[in-house]
Amino acid sequence: MSDLVMSRMSGEGVRPGTRARRLAGATWRLVGLMIARSRERQVLASLDRRMLRDIGITPEQAGREARKRFWEV
């Protein structure tokens, strides 16, 4: 491997705080995803049979999805 690749892999030459900023950014994106997932499941739970039929989901499927915890995919 080149010296540049090896230095990047070992963290050499990376400005202080860069890893922390990347980690913080990734953490906030994950939190945002979990919040969005929770809201979407709440909306799904509120749909009536006609609306569920329009999007091709049975009430049972909607119920299963709505009962999942925000961290479950």
List the pLDDT tens digit at each of the 73 positions of the chain. 555 555 555 666 667 789 999 999 999 999 999 999 999 999 999 999 999 999 999 999 999 999 999 889 8
pTM of the model: 0.67
The closest of 69, 1, 73, 60 to 38, measured between CA atoms, is 69
CA-angle at 63, arms to 59 and 66, nearest 5°: 135
Cα(27)–Cα(38) distance, rounded to whole angstroms? 17
